[in-house]
A and B are shown apart, each in its own frame.
Chain A
Protein backbone atom coordinates (compact mmCIF):
# COMPACT_ATOMS: atom_id res chain seq x y z
CA UNK A 1 0.00 0.00 0.00
CA UNK A 2 1.19 3.52 -0.73
CA UNK A 3 2.08 6.13 1.88
CA UNK A 4 -1.40 7.68 2.15
CA UNK A 5 -3.14 4.41 1.39
CA UNK A 6 -4.84 5.57 -1.79
CA UNK A 7 -2.89 3.47 -4.29
CA UNK A 8 -3.57 -0.21 -3.70
CA UNK A 9 -1.12 -2.80 -5.08
CA UNK A 10 -3.62 -3.89 -7.74
CA UNK A 11 -3.91 -0.25 -8.87
CA UNK A 12 -0.13 0.18 -9.01
CA UNK A 13 0.07 -2.97 -11.13
CA UNK A 14 -2.04 -1.50 -13.98
CA UNK A 15 0.12 1.59 -14.54
CA UNK A 16 1.30 1.61 -18.15
CA UNK A 17 -1.20 -0.95 -19.41
CA UNK A 18 -3.19 0.19 -22.47
CA UNK A 19 -6.97 0.54 -22.47
CA UNK A 20 -9.58 2.41 -24.47
CA UNK A 21 -8.14 1.43 -27.84
CA UNK A 22 -10.31 3.18 -30.41
CA UNK A 23 -10.04 3.65 -34.17
CA UNK A 24 -11.58 6.60 -36.01
CA UNK A 25 -13.50 6.81 -39.22
CA UNK A 26 -11.41 8.34 -42.01
CA UNK A 27 -11.04 12.05 -41.36
CA UNK A 28 -12.75 14.21 -43.98
CA UNK A 29 -12.01 17.68 -45.30
CA UNK A 30 -15.37 18.77 -43.90
CA UNK A 31 -14.40 17.54 -40.43
CA UNK A 32 -11.31 19.75 -40.64
CA UNK A 33 -13.10 22.81 -42.01
CA UNK A 34 -15.96 22.64 -39.52
CA UNK A 35 -13.58 22.35 -36.55
CA UNK A 36 -11.55 25.35 -37.73
CA UNK A 37 -14.68 27.44 -38.35
CA UNK A 38 -16.11 26.59 -34.92
CA UNK A 39 -13.02 27.43 -32.89
CA UNK A 40 -12.28 30.67 -34.76
CA UNK A 41 -15.89 31.90 -34.64
CA UNK A 42 -16.98 34.66 -35.14
CA UNK A 43 -14.00 35.45 -37.35
CA UNK A 44 -12.99 33.27 -40.27
CA UNK A 45 -10.27 30.72 -39.70
CA UNK A 46 -6.92 31.11 -41.48
CA UNK A 47 -7.50 31.04 -45.24
CA UNK A 48 -5.80 27.73 -45.89
CA UNK A 49 -8.58 25.88 -44.04
CA UNK A 50 -11.16 27.20 -46.51
CA UNK A 51 -9.09 26.96 -49.69
CA UNK A 52 -11.15 24.71 -52.00
CA UNK A 53 -7.99 23.51 -53.71
CA UNK A 54 -6.13 22.55 -50.55
CA UNK A 55 -7.47 19.03 -50.24
CA UNK A 56 -6.56 18.08 -53.81
CA UNK A 57 -3.17 19.75 -53.42
CA UNK A 58 -2.49 17.74 -50.26
CA UNK A 59 -1.97 20.85 -48.15
CA UNK A 60 -5.08 20.65 -45.97
CA UNK A 61 -4.12 19.69 -42.43
CA UNK A 62 -6.34 19.63 -39.35
CA UNK A 63 -6.07 22.03 -36.43
CA UNK A 64 -3.81 20.43 -33.83
CA UNK A 65 -6.57 20.26 -31.23
CA UNK A 66 -9.17 18.55 -33.42
CA UNK A 67 -11.02 15.61 -31.92
CA UNK A 68 -11.66 12.89 -34.48
CA UNK A 69 -13.58 10.74 -32.00
CA UNK A 70 -16.11 13.28 -30.75
CA UNK A 71 -19.25 11.98 -32.47
CA UNK A 72 -18.43 8.38 -33.17
CA UNK A 73 -15.64 5.88 -33.55
CA UNK A 74 -15.40 3.26 -36.26
CA UNK A 75 -14.19 0.62 -33.85
CA UNK A 76 -13.41 0.10 -30.20
CA UNK A 77 -11.22 -2.88 -29.47
CA UNK A 78 -12.84 -5.25 -27.00
CA UNK A 79 -11.25 -5.44 -23.61
CA UNK A 80 -11.87 -8.67 -21.74
CA UNK A 81 -10.65 -7.19 -18.45
CA UNK A 82 -13.18 -4.36 -18.34
CA UNK A 83 -16.20 -4.57 -16.07
CA UNK A 84 -19.11 -2.33 -15.16
CA UNK A 85 -18.92 -0.21 -12.02
CA UNK A 86 -21.47 1.86 -10.18
CA UNK A 87 -22.13 5.13 -12.07
CA UNK A 88 -20.84 7.09 -9.05
CA UNK A 89 -17.32 5.98 -10.01
CA UNK A 90 -17.74 6.95 -13.64
CA UNK A 91 -19.12 10.32 -12.54
CA UNK A 92 -15.69 11.25 -11.17
CA UNK A 93 -13.84 9.93 -14.18
CA UNK A 94 -12.68 6.57 -12.78
CA UNK A 95 -10.87 4.44 -15.36
CA UNK A 96 -9.42 1.52 -13.37
CA UNK A 97 -12.42 -0.68 -14.25
CA UNK A 98 -11.22 -0.65 -17.87
CA UNK A 99 -8.21 -2.66 -16.70
CA UNK A 100 -10.14 -5.01 -14.44
CA UNK A 101 -9.46 -3.20 -11.18
CA UNK A 102 -11.97 -1.70 -8.75
CA UNK A 103 -11.62 2.11 -8.66
CA UNK A 104 -10.78 3.78 -5.35
CA UNK A 105 -13.64 5.00 -3.16
CA UNK A 106 -13.08 8.68 -3.92
CA UNK A 107 -16.17 10.51 -5.11
CA UNK A 108 -15.12 14.11 -5.61
CA UNK A 109 -13.01 15.16 -8.56
CA UNK A 110 -11.18 18.11 -10.06
CA UNK A 111 -9.56 18.60 -13.45
CA UNK A 112 -5.88 19.00 -12.65
CA UNK A 113 -4.92 20.22 -16.09
CA UNK A 114 -3.91 19.20 -19.57
CA UNK A 115 -0.54 18.63 -21.21
CA UNK A 116 0.02 17.79 -24.86
CA UNK A 117 3.10 17.03 -26.91
CA UNK A 118 2.83 17.17 -30.70
CA UNK A 119 5.29 15.36 -32.93
CA UNK A 120 4.77 17.47 -36.04
CA UNK A 121 2.90 14.69 -37.86
CA UNK A 122 -0.34 16.33 -38.99
CA UNK A 123 -3.80 14.90 -39.51
CA UNK A 124 -4.95 15.04 -43.14
CA UNK A 125 -8.12 14.05 -45.00
CA UNK A 126 -8.34 10.26 -45.27
CA UNK A 127 -6.28 9.57 -42.17
CA UNK A 128 -7.51 6.87 -39.80
CA UNK A 129 -6.47 7.60 -36.23
CA UNK A 130 -5.88 5.07 -33.49
CA UNK A 131 -6.13 6.19 -29.89
CA UNK A 132 -4.75 4.33 -26.91
CA UNK A 133 -4.66 5.38 -23.27
CA UNK A 134 -2.54 4.32 -20.32
CA UNK A 135 -2.52 5.31 -16.68
CA UNK A 136 0.85 7.01 -16.73
CA UNK A 137 1.23 7.74 -13.02
CA UNK A 138 -0.47 7.84 -9.66
CA UNK A 139 0.56 10.49 -7.15
CA UNK A 140 -0.74 11.15 -3.66
CA UNK A 141 -0.99 14.60 -2.17
CA UNK A 142 -2.11 16.07 1.13
CA UNK A 143 -4.22 19.21 0.80
CA UNK A 144 -6.65 21.24 2.87
CA UNK A 145 -9.36 19.04 1.34
CA UNK A 146 -7.64 15.92 2.64
CA UNK A 147 -5.68 13.17 0.93
CA UNK A 148 -5.86 13.43 -2.83
CA UNK A 149 -5.11 10.96 -5.58
CA UNK A 150 -3.72 12.48 -8.77
CA UNK A 151 -4.04 10.16 -11.77
CA UNK A 152 -2.26 11.06 -14.99
CA UNK A 153 -3.76 9.34 -18.04
CA UNK A 154 -1.80 9.60 -21.28
CA UNK A 155 -3.59 9.18 -24.59
CA UNK A 156 -1.52 8.66 -27.71
CA UNK A 157 -2.80 9.04 -31.26
CA UNK A 158 -1.14 7.35 -34.20
CA UNK A 159 -2.12 7.36 -37.86
CA UNK A 160 -2.62 4.50 -40.30
CA UNK A 161 1.12 4.43 -40.99
CA UNK A 162 1.93 4.00 -37.32
CA UNK A 163 3.27 7.54 -37.01
CA UNK A 164 2.74 9.10 -33.59
CA UNK A 165 0.77 12.36 -33.79
CA UNK A 166 0.47 13.43 -30.18
CA UNK A 167 0.36 12.35 -26.58
CA UNK A 168 -2.12 14.19 -24.38
CA UNK A 169 -1.95 13.79 -20.62
CA UNK A 170 -4.84 14.67 -18.34
CA UNK A 171 -4.50 14.94 -14.59
CA UNK A 172 -7.56 13.80 -12.68
CA UNK A 173 -7.64 14.70 -9.01
CA UNK A 174 -9.89 12.50 -6.89
CA UNK A 175 -10.45 13.04 -3.17
Chain B
Protein backbone atom coordinates (compact mmCIF):
# COMPACT_ATOMS: atom_id res chain seq x y z
CA UNK B 1 0.00 0.00 0.00
CA UNK B 2 2.97 2.32 0.17
CA UNK B 3 3.98 2.13 -3.47
CA UNK B 4 2.39 4.97 -5.39
CA UNK B 5 2.09 4.88 -9.14
CA UNK B 6 2.42 8.22 -10.86
CA UNK B 7 -0.41 8.45 -13.35
CA UNK B 8 0.30 10.10 -16.65
CA UNK B 9 -1.32 13.45 -17.29
CA UNK B 10 -4.51 13.19 -19.28
CA UNK B 11 -4.76 15.19 -22.48
CA UNK B 12 -4.89 18.89 -21.75
CA UNK B 13 -4.91 18.42 -17.97
CA UNK B 14 -1.94 20.69 -17.38
CA UNK B 15 -2.15 22.93 -20.45
CA UNK B 16 -2.71 26.68 -20.35
CA UNK B 17 -6.42 27.27 -19.95
CA UNK B 18 -7.04 24.00 -18.11
CA UNK B 19 -9.28 24.10 -15.06
CA UNK B 20 -8.17 23.09 -11.57
CA UNK B 21 -10.78 20.44 -10.65
CA UNK B 22 -13.22 22.00 -8.17
CA UNK B 23 -12.78 21.13 -4.49
CA UNK B 24 -16.16 21.72 -2.88
CA UNK B 25 -17.00 21.88 0.80
CA UNK B 26 -19.89 23.17 2.89
CA UNK B 27 -18.97 25.84 5.42
CA UNK B 28 -20.34 25.46 8.93
CA UNK B 29 -19.61 24.33 12.44
CA UNK B 30 -18.88 20.71 11.52
CA UNK B 31 -15.95 21.77 9.34
CA UNK B 32 -14.91 24.74 11.50
CA UNK B 33 -14.86 22.75 14.73
CA UNK B 34 -12.67 20.07 13.23
CA UNK B 35 -10.26 22.68 11.95
CA UNK B 36 -10.29 24.52 15.28
CA UNK B 37 -9.41 21.26 16.99
CA UNK B 38 -6.24 20.70 14.95
CA UNK B 39 -5.22 24.35 14.65
CA UNK B 40 -6.21 25.42 18.20
CA UNK B 41 -8.35 28.11 16.61
CA UNK B 42 -11.06 28.43 19.25
CA UNK B 43 -12.07 32.00 18.54
CA UNK B 44 -15.53 33.26 19.43
CA UNK B 45 -16.27 34.64 15.95
CA UNK B 46 -15.88 31.11 14.57
CA UNK B 47 -18.03 29.45 17.24
CA UNK B 48 -20.72 31.85 18.38
CA UNK B 49 -23.34 33.71 16.33
CA UNK B 50 -23.50 36.61 18.75
CA UNK B 51 -19.74 37.12 18.49
CA UNK B 52 -20.01 36.99 14.70
CA UNK B 53 -22.78 39.61 14.77
CA UNK B 54 -20.72 41.82 17.04
CA UNK B 55 -18.01 41.68 14.36
CA UNK B 56 -20.47 42.88 11.74
CA UNK B 57 -21.32 39.55 10.15
CA UNK B 58 -24.70 37.74 10.04
CA UNK B 59 -23.40 35.19 12.55
CA UNK B 60 -20.38 33.00 13.22
CA UNK B 61 -18.09 32.76 10.23
CA UNK B 62 -15.30 30.53 9.01
CA UNK B 63 -11.55 30.79 9.37
CA UNK B 64 -9.44 32.24 6.58
CA UNK B 65 -6.93 29.55 7.50
CA UNK B 66 -9.44 26.84 6.54
CA UNK B 67 -9.96 28.40 3.10
CA UNK B 68 -6.16 28.43 2.84
CA UNK B 69 -6.12 24.73 3.78
CA UNK B 70 -8.79 23.92 1.19
CA UNK B 71 -6.71 25.68 -1.49
CA UNK B 72 -3.88 23.29 -0.63
CA UNK B 73 -6.30 20.34 -0.78
CA UNK B 74 -7.54 21.38 -4.23
CA UNK B 75 -4.00 21.40 -5.61
CA UNK B 76 -3.06 18.18 -3.82
CA UNK B 77 -6.09 16.29 -5.10
CA UNK B 78 -5.36 17.47 -8.64
CA UNK B 79 -1.60 17.06 -8.82
CA UNK B 80 -1.13 14.21 -6.35
CA UNK B 81 2.43 12.88 -6.37
CA UNK B 82 3.04 14.15 -9.91
CA UNK B 83 4.39 17.45 -8.63
CA UNK B 84 4.51 19.89 -5.77
CA UNK B 85 2.95 23.18 -4.86
CA UNK B 86 5.82 25.67 -4.65
CA UNK B 87 4.06 28.97 -4.12
CA UNK B 88 0.62 30.12 -3.03
CA UNK B 89 -0.74 33.50 -2.18
CA UNK B 90 -4.22 34.87 -1.61
CA UNK B 91 -6.21 37.72 -0.15
CA UNK B 92 -9.20 37.06 2.07
CA UNK B 93 -11.97 39.33 0.79
CA UNK B 94 -14.97 37.93 2.63
CA UNK B 95 -15.42 35.03 5.03
CA UNK B 96 -17.48 31.89 4.59
CA UNK B 97 -20.81 31.87 6.38
CA UNK B 98 -22.75 28.92 7.75
CA UNK B 99 -24.20 26.88 4.91
CA UNK B 100 -22.10 28.49 2.19
CA UNK B 101 -21.01 26.13 -0.55
CA UNK B 102 -17.34 26.93 -1.02
CA UNK B 103 -15.59 25.90 -4.21
CA UNK B 104 -11.85 26.07 -4.69
CA UNK B 105 -10.93 26.07 -8.35
CA UNK B 106 -8.67 27.83 -10.79
CA UNK B 107 -7.09 27.92 -14.21
CA UNK B 108 -3.64 27.29 -15.62
CA UNK B 109 -2.34 30.67 -16.82
CA UNK B 110 1.23 29.75 -17.72
CA UNK B 111 3.38 26.75 -18.49
CA UNK B 112 7.16 26.63 -18.91
CA UNK B 113 9.81 23.93 -18.93
CA UNK B 114 12.70 24.26 -16.50
CA UNK B 115 16.29 23.24 -17.24
CA UNK B 116 15.87 20.01 -15.25
CA UNK B 117 12.95 18.96 -17.43
CA UNK B 118 10.28 19.75 -14.87
CA UNK B 119 7.21 21.68 -15.93
CA UNK B 120 6.26 24.82 -14.05
CA UNK B 121 2.59 25.79 -14.03
CA UNK B 122 1.32 29.21 -13.05
CA UNK B 123 -2.24 29.22 -11.75
CA UNK B 124 -5.01 31.56 -10.85
CA UNK B 125 -6.55 29.84 -7.84
CA UNK B 126 -9.49 31.07 -5.83
CA UNK B 127 -12.32 30.39 -3.42
CA UNK B 128 -15.84 31.23 -4.50
CA UNK B 129 -19.19 30.87 -2.78
CA UNK B 130 -22.51 29.63 -4.17
CA UNK B 131 -23.22 33.03 -5.74
CA UNK B 132 -20.01 32.84 -7.76
CA UNK B 133 -18.39 35.64 -5.76
CA UNK B 134 -14.65 35.18 -5.39
CA UNK B 135 -14.07 35.32 -1.65
CA UNK B 136 -10.32 34.61 -1.69
CA UNK B 137 -8.58 35.28 -5.02
CA UNK B 138 -5.05 34.02 -5.34
CA UNK B 139 -2.26 32.68 -7.48
CA UNK B 140 -0.10 29.60 -7.25
CA UNK B 141 2.86 27.87 -8.85
CA UNK B 142 3.16 24.11 -9.22
CA UNK B 143 6.22 22.19 -10.40
CA UNK B 144 5.47 18.90 -12.14
CA UNK B 145 8.13 16.24 -11.99
CA UNK B 146 10.08 15.54 -15.19
CA UNK B 147 8.18 13.21 -17.46
CA UNK B 148 4.71 14.15 -16.23
Contacts and interface: CB of A to CB of B under 8 A. Distances in A.
Interface of A: 34-35, 37-42, 46-48, 51-54, 57, 59, 63-65, 67, 70-71, 111-118, 120
B62 to A, nearest CB: 12
B87 interface: yes
A52 to B, nearest CB: 8
A115 B88 contact: yes
Interface stretch (B11-19, B35-43, B49-57): B35-43
A64 B72 contact: yes
Contacts of B4: 48, 59
Contact of B38 (A34, A53, A118): A34
Given A46-B77, A48-B4, A57-B2, A38 B88 contact: no
B66 interface: yes
B85 A64 contact: yes
Contacts of B68: 65, 114
A113 B87 contact: no
A52 B1 CA distance: 9
19 contacts: A34-B38, A37-B34, A38-B38, A39-B73, A41-B31, A42-B25, A42-B31, A48-B4, A51-B2, A52-B1, A54-B2, A57-B2, A65-B72, A70-B38, A70-B39, A111-B64, A115-B89, A118-B85, A118-B86
Interface residues of B, number: 32
Given A38-B35, A42-B30, A120-B86, 12 more contacts: A35-B38, A37-B34, A39-B35, A39-B69, A39-B73, A41-B30, A47-B1, A64-B72, A67-B38, A114-B90, A115-B89, A116-B87
B9 to A, nearest CB: 18
Contact of A118 (B64, B69, B87, B91): B87
Contact of B39 (A64, A67, A113): A67
Interface in B64-81: 64, 66, 68-70, 72-73, 76-77, 80
B72 to A, nearest CB: 5
Contacts of B91: 112-113
A32 B63 CA distance: 20
A38 B34 contact: yes
A48 B85 CA distance: 17
A141 B2 CA distance: 51
B69 A65 contact: yes
Nearest to A116: B88
B84 interface: yes
Contact of B1 (A40, A53, A114, A116): A53
Contacts of A120: 84, 86
B58 to A, nearest CB: 20
Contacts of A113: 89-92
Contact of B40 (A48, A54, A71, A118): A71
Contacts of A38: 34-35, 37-38
